[in-house]
Structures are given as C-alpha cells and as structure tokens.
Structure 1
Amino acid sequence: MCGIVGYIGYREAVPFLLQGLKRLEYRGYDSAGIAVLNGTLSVVKQKGDVAKLGEAVAASHADGISGMVGIGHTRWATHGDPSDRNAHPHLSMDGSIALIHNGIIENHAALRTELQQHGYLFQSDTDSEVLVHLIDHLWKQIPFIDFESAVRQALSLVEGAYGIGVLSSREPDRLIVARHGSPLVIGIGEGEYFVASDAAPLVEYTRRVVYLADGEMAVLSADGFSLKTIGNVVQEAVVTELDLELDEIEKGGFEHFMLKEIFEQPRVMQDVMRGRVLLEEGAIQLGGIMDMLDELRMARRIIICACGTSWHAGLIGEYLIEEFARIPVEVDYASEFRYRSPILGEGEVMLVISQSGETADTLAALRLAKENGVKVVGICNVVGSTIARETDCGIYTHAGPEIGVASTKAFTAQVMVLAMLALALGKDRALGPDAFLAALGELASLPEKMQRTVEESEVVRGISGEYTWAEHFLYLGRGYNFPVALEGALKLKEISYIHAEGYPAAEMKHGPIALIDEEMPVVVMVPKDASYWKVRSNIEEVRARKGKVIAIATEGDEEIAGAVDHVLYVPEAAAFVMPLLTVVPLQLLSYYVATMRGCNVDRPRNLAKAVTVE
C-alpha cells in the first residue's frame, strides 16, 4: 500500500528518491521520508506529502543531503497514527541501520517485548521499527555474520507481509531489499540499480527490470546484484523489458489523473480488444487462456473472487458468463472467501480480478483455491505481478498505468475482458453464429460510443454543480446496471466523501425508500432495455416522495426528460455492453462533485491504490 524507492550507483540519490516518491503518490500515504548514506546516515522524515518532504530536505542541510546510496518511503498508517515519529525510515539505536517497510509484521508485539528485554528503546508505535532493531540485535549477537545474513536471519523470525529496503553505514556499499506479499521491482542501469514498489519511478532511468517473487531477497551494489531466497538459495534473475512510456504516468494537460484516465477509456477499449476481437474472422482470440479454454467451457462452476471495484466488475462478469456460456457463476469478496469454509471441488475454476495483481486478499483466495486443486485464471493490469505469476493462466487488461486511486479505466478494461471471455466461452453454445457476430459488432462499435459519452463531460459538470450540497446519494439499476449502481456509489464516496449506496432498483421498496426526501438525490440507470418500464416505476416512487432524480438514459428517449430532474444520455447499445457506457457519466459526476467540493480526487483521504495487506 505504501511506496518504496531505493538507489545505489554513481549519481546523487536524493533527486531520484524524491521524484520516485512523487511517482508513487497515487498509492496513498500520510507521511514520507528518506535516508541517504555518505559515511553516516542522513534521515529526513515527516508527516505530510512529498513536496513538504522536499522542502524539509532542503532546509535540513545547507548544502543538501549528499550520497549515492539511499532509500525512500511513503507510509499509509496501519500501526500508529500519521506522525513524524511514525514515518519511515526507522533507525537502529546507534543510527547505523535504516529500514523502510511495507506490510504488517504480525508478531511484532512479541518481538518488541523480547527486544526491550535486551535494552532496545522504541521511538515509534509502528510494527516496522521492530525489524530494524531485530536486524541490529542479530548482527551484534551472532558471531561472524555480515549485513546480508543478519537481514536474512531477521526475516526468518518475522510473521506477516513485507517489502523492505535496508542500508547500513557498517557496510556502506550495500542496499538490501526483500519481499513477502508486498511488491518490489529492481531497475537495472549501467553501474547503478533502482528499486521501487512498482515500475512508475523507473521508466525515466531504465527499461530493464527484475520483479522480486515472494520470499526473495536481493543484495545490490554498484558492481552488481545477487538474488537468493530468504533461505539462502541462489535464484536466477529473470530480466523483463518494461512496456511503459513516460507520458502514460504524467497528466498530459489534464487537471487530474482521474480525469485523464476517464478520457482515456475509448482508447483503452481499443487496446483491450486489439488482436483479440477479430471481426472479419468472426472470432475472439484470447491467447493467455487458449490452452485452458476447453476446461473453462466444461467447468461445473466458475467462482469469481475480487475486492472493491474489481468485485463490481466480477458481478457484471457473472451476468455475462451465465447469459452467454450458461455456466453457473458465484461472485465472492476475496476478503471473505477464505474465512467461510468455501466448498471447492473438481471441475470448478476460480477467476481472480485485480488491477494491481498484488491485492493481498485476492492472492489469499487464489492460493486457497490452488491448494484445493482448483485451476485459477487471472485478470490483471500489471505485467509481472504476483497474480500474473501464480495463476494457471490469465488475461492482461492492457489498460496502461492507472495513477488515480479511484479506479476508472481499469474497471472498464476488466469488464471488457470479461465480455470477451464470456463470448469466447459461449460461442457455439448459447450463442449461435449470427448472435456471436452481432455481439462482436457491439464490442467493435463501443470505443466510438464511449468517445461520444466522454465528450458530454461539460453537461455532467453543469449538473454536478447542483448537487455539491448533498450528504447522501442513492444509486439504482437493474440487470447489468445493478453493479454499475454499486460502482457509481463507490466512486462518489471514495473521492467526494459523500455517503452513497447502490441498490437493485426493485429493492428500494425493501428499506431504502424510507430515506428518500427532497434532500436525497437518486441516480437511476434507465436505458431502453427489458427492464425499462420497471425502472420507470421506481423513478415515479422516488418522485412521489420529492426525491431528486438524475437519470442515465438512452439517446433519443425524450420522454424520460419530463419524468426526472436531470438526464445524462448515452448511445444506444446492446444490454451486455451498456455498463461500459452508463458508468462513464457516473465517473464524471463523481469527479466534478468532488472537485467542486475541494477534494483531492487523485489521492482521497485514507485510501491506497494497491491494498497489499489484509
């Protein structure tokens, strides 16, 4: 969830560390700090953002902090409140070791008690500080061990998740990094090495990277690096070429990353389908799962596991797969799946969805399924991520880097992948040749329709200005648009801090209708589909109680305008692709309401982009 950067080489470390932390701000954080080694360790850390950290670095040393080895960190509080003393890096008592840590040390309390008995004094409330003192203690107590061995011994004693970077003035030519459940990537330069939580900080410096696997530790120096397991078994480093451009992680003239990513969605839809939706051949080619496609078609049940926005995509996937492939689908919160004694058996397949490919709860569900002999298919956005490595096969979404914490283009890319998967599974089953070709045509026409939808952003902006006063919103939809209602409500609450709930439209009468009055805006998905008149009745029920109604309707439906307060139109499309259109006005509505309320839409409070702890 937090951000890690590190550098060792021939150039000054501070500029890379600060710029790298800036690149990782989207992950969410509440404090930041750096440690640079130049004979001794210089540490600057504080509550607040990276810009404030940069000012503090400049103010703390008249000539600046110099050094060619350094680590940096942005912290998202788990143990201990956001504060200067809880910020990373943490130091050993003698100031010779600096450590940064992502994750949670689950046995920190017992280790803290033991270390205190050996005379160690703690300066923070964090679980992370335990690890730096443990390394120091082992290094001093065990005869003839070096820095690397002390780190390895310490990691063998901790329980939980970690991604760490460690420096020591006792061995100043080393930077040690390790991971278990929290991603780390090493960038390979000429006579220099870079470390980060993901590839965003590295793209300006190198294209050659190594993704650490769980249980791996790397010792870096300016001359090279070694890769071993925590158990000291040598590993072969697999070097990957980054497929990432600098302009993909910059705003490109937009005020916020979130708005840029909303507007990128028509192009993303083309990228997701490129080489996969073959209209002239009348085929869908999903190379990543071709070897398992027959097994998927014969599955007794498909279990979809995901969290947050990806769970909403999974709900749409349930509708898609059951309609087109006629395979029973169950959608589970990954965070609940392993705690409810799930029934797993032969002939079942699990589908896991994650933007980052590092979501801790989703990984736990994946591993439980594999332990029970269930084949697992992954849908994720990040090449080389843990989900991409641990699943039996999978499909990349090709959405490109998503910097805004509130997911937009990653969600629509996931839904598009699920639509392609459902059609591939359903071909020559529930879908005859003509129906299959018609469905391909619907997918192929989507980018142009989505482009028309995002171009109505000024209309959405105008409507948004009338609802910044609201403290509660209700979102309603039926069929494919019920998950869209959930996603729209989530987007609004994430970035504007307005309480919002999504419901199936018919369920409004079973409780939520009690909340409706003139101060309750209700957003209703009412496209011209099989449920149209049912949803129109729900709108009348809201209006009868003086609720304000914003309708997301199909172009050409002039009649709806007289029945609601505001209408946002989307192009006509088949029901199964409609969620990819109706969600766009909801994304824009959330964005404009939030910015008009003065909220930081790219980095909403308390949220992190990649949830890598349970």
Structure 2
Amino acid sequence: MCGIIGILGKSSVAHELVDALKRLEYRGYDSAGVATIEPDGTFARRRAVGKLRNLEAVLSESPLAGAIGIGHTRWATHGGVTEKNAHPHATERVAVVHNGIIENFRELKTFLIGAGHEFKSETDTEVVAHLVTRYLDEGLPPKEAVAATLKLLTGAYALLFLFPTDGDLLIGARSGPPLAIGWGDGEMYFGSDAIALAPFTDRVTYLEDGDYAVLHRSGAAIYDAADNPVQRPMVISNAAAFTVDRGNYRHFMAKEIHEQPEVIGHTLGHYLDLTAGRTRLPEASGPRASVGVGGVDWASLDRITISACGTAYYAGLVAKYWFERIARIGVDIDVASEFRYREAPLPEKGLALFVSQSGETADTLASLRYCKQHGQTIGAVVNVPASSIGREADIVFPTLAGAEIGVASTKAFTCQLSVLAALAVAAGRARGAINEAEEQALVAELAAVPRLVTEALRLELTIERLAKRISKAKDVLYLGRGTSFPLALEGALKLKEISYIHAEGYAAGELKHGPIALIDETMPVVVIAPHDRLYEKTVSNMQEVAARGGRIILITDEAGAEAISLEATETIVLPTMSDLVAPIVYAVPVQLLAYHTAVLMGTDVDQPRNLAKSVTVE
C-alpha cells in the first residue's frame, strides 16, 4: 500500500514528511519522494529508490526549505522501480502523489500526447498531473481544475495536489483508497491514515468515498463527487498508541473490508505490468532463479497440487477453476489437514502451491513438507514472506494485504485470489493456452478490480438492511455454481465464524441431492449468481427454493437482476464484470453480509469465540 502525506506547516516540512512516511513503512514500498514549494515559489523534488534512508541521504545532500509539501512511498504498479517513476510526479504547474490505479490512463495519455504534452515516466499518475495542467492552462483555478480532472478518471485512487502558485493550498481526493485530514493549530495535514498524522495531531476527519478536500492553514472545505459542499465529522484518534489503528471504523474487520480496493491494487501491481498489459511475476531467487516464469516452468507442468485451510482453501478452490480454464493445467486441491494423511501420489517434478495468510498454519506446513519430500517445487502464497511456510518454500508469491487484525479473513482472502488469478494468467501465456491479445485483455480485467470493489462497497447500506433478516434466522443456506461455489462456502464460513449462526454452502446443482429438504419459509437462501454462462441453471435452482417458500437473497449484476422475476427475491446488484474477476469482487458483499449480521447479533466481531488468527497446532 502506498503511503501519502501532505503538510501545510509553519517552517520547513521536508523532515516531517519523511518522519510521517516512516510511520507508514508497514504498508510496504520500493521508492519514496517528497516535493515542496520553496521560498522563491518554485517546486523542488527529492526522490530515491529503495528505503527511506536513501531519501534521507538525498535530502541531507540537498535540503529543502519549503513550509508546504507532499510525500509518498510507492509500490510499483505502472513502470519499474526507478527514480523517474517514483512520486511525486510534476509539471511546472502541479505536483501529484497517488495511491491506486488509473484504469483509463492509456487513453488519456494518448490524448494528452496528441495535444503536445511530454511525459517523463511510465506511470499512470503522471497523466493526472498533465490533465490538471491542461485545465490550469485553460484558465481554471486549482480547485476547479482538480474537480474537472477527477471526472475523467476511471479507477480507484487517493490523490494529493500541490500548486507552486499558492503556498497555502493542498487539495486531496479519494475514490476507494483511504485519505484523512489532520487538524492542527495554524497547520493542516493529509495522510493515508491516522498513524501518519499521529505526531502532529489527534484531530482527524476521514474523507468518504468520492470526496475531495481543499486545505488552507486556516481549515478545510470538503466536497462530494457532485461538487456539493459537505460536512464530515472530526474524530479524536488514538493512533499514536498503536501500530495499527481502527480509524473511524467500529471494528478492525470493517476497516479491513474497506481497505480492499487499496491492497488488491497493490497486490495486482506486484504481479502485473499495467503499462504493457501483461503479467510480471517476481523473479525467483536461489536454485529456482533460472527456471521458467517467476521460478516455475509452467509449460512442462501436468498438474498443480494446492493445499490450504479455511478461507485460504476456498481461495485455492477458486484458483482450480482459473488454472484449468485459462492455463489448461489440471489441479488437485485438498484441505491441508486431510491432504497430509492421504499419502497422495504426486507427479514427478510437480508444482505444489500452499496458501496461508500467516504462513504458520500447522497443517499447511506439514503438507508442504510432505510435498517437498516427494520432489515437488514448493510455491507459497503468503501474507508474511518471512513466515515458516515462506522460508521453507522454493518460491514465495507474497500477498500485499498488510496487517490483518480481524480473525475472520477478508482482505487477505481477496489478495490471495488476486495473486492466484495473476499466476493463472501467467501460466496460460507461458503454456500457449492464451495469446498476447488474450493476456492483455485479462490483465485489463484484473486492473479494474479495485474500482469494482469500491463500487461494491457502496452497496453497504443495502447489505446492512438485508442483514437484519439473516440475524433472525437459525440456519442459512448459500448456493453458487462455478467459481461462485467456493464463494458460497466462504460466505457460510464467514457467517458461522462471527455471528454464530449455522450456515452451509453448497454447489447449486447439489440442491436436489439433499439440501432442498431444509427449505421452508424461515430459511434465508443466499444465491451468488453473476449473469454468466451458468446463470440460467442457477435460476432453476432459485425457482425450486421459491416454490418451497424459501426467501432468497440474490447477489448478481444488472443483467441478472433484470432477468429474475421471482417474488421471493431480494437482490444485491453489483456492476457488470468479467467471469475472471467476479470471485474477487463478489467476495465483498458476502463479507459485508456476515459482518453486519454479526454486529446485529452483538458478537465479538474481531475476536470471535474459540477462534485464533493463526492455527499453529493440529
């Protein structure tokens, strides 16, 4: 997750910017930079690849004196890890820092180059700087230039803007990734979260999705996406006492659900070259360094073995569909606690993938060791690369979810899915199962996920209302087909974990093979059914439920909602999206439904009874 900081101060702010960025190091980064307006009214930038100490060394050799500035720590998404791609990006009229993905940057860049603009980096962010510059050149004031630019952007982003013509002005905007305002005494601040602002102030206002804010040293004015002035509450933050803070959320789980546009974007950026429109697997190290793509000889594989526990197992189950359909590789998948005792025969020189948030899950680690003993190449999809599973693997495919405090996994799950989707596309290309144009189309679909997740989060009030029905039930059934079947399993698990309501997930086609006996007018049935090639078959299962008095909550898209006519159905309508990315985005309403049900039930959402974040014993 990129880190963002902006300071309207009383004296030189460069070192304060760097100190704030240090508090955001937990988010991960590969380069950093700051920009200030110097006393003579000109921009000055200092950027460096690598850790913040490298930026500090640059500042020591070439100090900055400006009392207003912006800073950034970057995870590379568009373009490599180079100084020219490090933020801030600037023209003569504006400097910008950015967290997120601008999906339509290619079209915008083509237009701007045609209009005479010259680009110096490979990033999507530079497009934003040039768009604002274009509007400034046309005579618009900074606020109006930013507002006009935001309306042209497709994607998920947090942005800060610095203007050399005004040493008392910072503008910030949020669509997806978080951004907060800090209130000082004659000083004002922007930050990715309250932790960055903790040394300066404990008075914080969190921008809501779609907001942009104009800061002067005397205060802030906030506007919504329709340019209407709005008021957002000021809260007292206790971030100074914690490494990770809940922000303005009631529970860590809620915060982590809402962090997903940001962390998914950074995870995808690690595995995709969004500038070129192709996969970019991290280079392997050690004995696998010269092997295939990302340390795997995908072309020679006959089968992949996947093993995991709980929610991570469901991520692997979705990946089975992806690998088999996109890369044409057979996949065996099992719960790690069962796999380790099956004495399964394994293919010669096969690939075994192990999925774990903590990287310390005892059963998964034991399964890894079994596969290693039987000559398998070991790949680990983990959120903690230095964990036991990460250390014992031949190749680590890290998720970039950041610290996940809630016991019930949310952002770790969708980041696992993001990694596995990228691996499936890379495998498909390496094996010749898809061509270059197909790879570019799939990468473009994945690049849209942060925006689609942001749109899904906007349905929270609708989902909260539907949770009231779930909270009154003793049993809940979840149904899905294809990649929606693992989501049905995950939805049932989430509800059980945090609300203590009994729930079961089934493949929709299995309804008549037993579960239909449970259906009555008191049974909520959650059906996960995007309008895909399997939709009509799922509709027939919904009709069977409705005929027996079951009350259906349908999670679908606009086409699916229009095609259904059952009176017993309430719908959660998501945006239209491709089959590839649907499992990642559809996870969000499933999580929110469980979360709001648990809140209504009054349970301990972040630390549900009898559960631990990492299961390190059998």
- TM-score of Structure 1 vs Structure 2, range by shorter chain: 0.5 to 0.7
Is 1:609 the counterpart of 2:604 in the alignment?
no
Residue from 531, 536, 558 that aligns with 2:534: 531
Shift of 1:277: 1.4
- Residues 546 and 566 in structure 2, CA contact (< 8 A), matched pair in contact too: no
* Structure 1 gap ranges (5+): 1-199, 205-243
Residue deviations 1:479-532, cap 9 Å, x none?
A: 011100000000000000111010000101000000000111100012110011
| Cα distance in 2 between the residues matched to 1:474 and 1:362 | 28
**Partner of 2:383 in structure 1?**
381
Which is further off, 355-364 or 343-352? 343-352
**Overall identity of the aligned pairs, in %:** 47
Is 1:445 the counterpart of 2:448 in the alignment?
yes
Residue from 592, 596, 606 that aligns with 2:600: 596
Q: 3-state DSSP class of the match of 1:460?
A: helix
| Cα distance in 1 between the residues matched to 2:579 and 2:243 | 32
| Cα distance in 2 between the residues matched to 1:246 and 1:580 | 34
- Residues 321 and 483 in structure 2, CA contact (< 8 A), matched pair in contact too: yes
Residue from 536, 547, 550 that aligns with 1:547: 550
Residue from 284, 296, 299 that aligns with 2:298: 296
Is 1:257 the counterpart of 2:252 in the alignment?
yes
- Residues 305 and 311 in structure 1, CA contact (< 8 A), matched pair in contact too: yes
**Partner of 1:570 in structure 2?**
574
Residue from 308, 320, 323 that aligns with 1:321: 323
Q: 3-state DSSP class of the match of 1:494?
A: helix
Residue from 268, 272, 283 that aligns with 1:273: 268
| Cα distance in 2 between the residues matched to 1:248 and 1:266 | 21
**Partner of 1:348 in structure 2?**
350
Aligned length: 374
Q: 3-state DSSP class of the match of 2:297?
A: helix
Which is further off, 265-274 or 404-413? 265-274
Residues 522/375 of structure 1: CA separation in 2 closer, same or farther (3 Å cut): same
| Cα distance in 2 between the residues matched to 1:393 and 1:456 | 38
Shift of 1:319: 0.5
Q: Which amino acid aligns with 1:267?
A: E
Q: Which amino acid aligns with 2:313?
A: W
Q: Which amino acid aligns with 1:476?
A: L
**Partner of 2:411 in structure 1?**
409
Q: 3-state DSSP class of the match of 1:522?
A: strand
- Residues 487 and 587 in structure 2, CA contact (< 8 A), matched pair in contact too: yes
- Residues 383 and 398 in structure 2, CA contact (< 8 A), matched pair in contact too: yes
| Cα distance in 1 between the residues matched to 2:568 and 2:589 | 16
Which is further off, 604-613 or 554-563? 554-563
Q: Which amino acid aligns with 1:324?
A: I
Which is further off, 350-359 or 368-377? 368-377
| Cα distance in 2 between the residues matched to 1:470 and 1:417 | 35
* Aligned ranges 1:10-49 → 2 under 5 Å: none
Is 1:394 the counterpart of 2:396 in the alignment?
yes
Residues 246/337 of structure 1: CA separation in 2 closer, same or farther (3 Å cut): farther
* Aligned ranges 1:498-509 → 2 under 5 Å: 498-509=501-512
Residues 469/334 of structure 1: CA separation in 2 closer, same or farther (3 Å cut): same
| Cα distance in 2 between the residues matched to 1:246 and 1:554 | 43
Q: 3-state DSSP class of the match of 1:249?
A: coil
* Aligned ranges 1:66-465 → 2 under 5 Å: 249-289=244-284, 293-427=295-429, 429-465=432-468
Shift of 1:292: 5.1
Shift of 1:291: 5.8
Residue deviations 1:549-576, cap 9 Å, x none?
A: 0000102433426444310011111112
Q: Which amino acid aligns with 2:377?
A: K
- Residues 313 and 355 in structure 2, CA contact (< 8 A), matched pair in contact too: yes
| Cα distance in 2 between the residues matched to 1:599 and 1:318 | 34
Which is further off, 549-558 or 261-270? 549-558
| Cα distance in 1 between the residues matched to 2:260 and 2:614 | 21
Shift of 1:294: 4.5
Residues 521/287 of structure 1: CA separation in 2 closer, same or farther (3 Å cut): same
Shift of 1:282: 2.6
**Partner of 1:105 in structure 2?**
none
Q: 3-state DSSP class of the match of 2:576?
A: coil
| Cα distance in 1 between the residues matched to 2:410 and 2:480 | 19
Shift of 1:469: 1.1
| Cα distance in 1 between the residues matched to 2:271 and 2:416 | 14
- Residues 530 and 555 in structure 2, CA contact (< 8 A), matched pair in contact too: yes
Q: What is the alpha-carbon root mean square deviation over aligned residues? A: 2.1
- Residues 305 and 332 in structure 1, CA contact (< 8 A), matched pair in contact too: yes
Normalising by structure 2, we get a TM-score of 0.59
- Residues 488 and 505 in structure 2, CA contact (< 8 A), matched pair in contact too: yes
Residue deviations 1:327-372, cap 9 Å, x none?
A: 1100011111121111124131100000000000000000111111
Normalising by structure 1, we get a TM-score of 0.59
Residues 564/445 of structure 1: CA separation in 2 closer, same or farther (3 Å cut): farther
| Cα distance in 1 between the residues matched to 2:438 and 2:272 | 15
Displaced runs of 4 or more, over 6 A: 244-248
| Cα distance in 1 between the residues matched to 2:274 and 2:356 | 28
- Residues 288 and 393 in structure 1, CA contact (< 8 A), matched pair in contact too: no
| Cα distance in 1 between the residues matched to 2:243 and 2:438 | 37
Higher relative CO (CA 8 A, sep ≥ 6), structure 1 or 2? 1
